[in-house]
Amino acid sequence: MKIETLKEIIKKKSSYEEFAVLTNLSNGSSEMFKLGVPLSKNFINHKNEIENYYNLKKNGIINKTDIYIQNYIKPIDVIIVGAVHITQYFQKLSLE
């Protein structure tokens, strides 16, 4: 992976953007993927499959290709609403 790609991953993760990194395992090329952004010639032939994996938030090698997709999704926000006794239980779990 090129250092520029790694820097872009760090930047996007810190801003909580959802994106994916595509890597062609046969030639080592990689690029960032986000819906609506055009793909390079290395990946354009597999656009539908890439979008499918991206929408499913699925990581792995896309079927019948040499393309590996790694999705980076936003962390899940959790809001706990309830009385003190519920919160005490969750505090106890987090301390264990």
Supply the pLDDT for residue 51: 94
Look at residue 93 in the predicted model and tell me its pLDDT: 57
- Domain map of the chain by residue range? 3-95
Q: For residues 52 and 31, give the distance between their C-alpha atoms in angstroms, rounded to a whole number.
A: 17
**3-state DSSP assignment of residue 30:** strand
What distance lies between CA 48 and its chain's CA centroid? 17
**Could you read off the pLDDT tens digit of each residue along the chain, which spans 96 residues?**
778 888 888 888 878 889 999 999 998 889 999 998 999 988 999 999 999 999 999 899 999 899 999 999 877 777 766 666 666 666 555 555
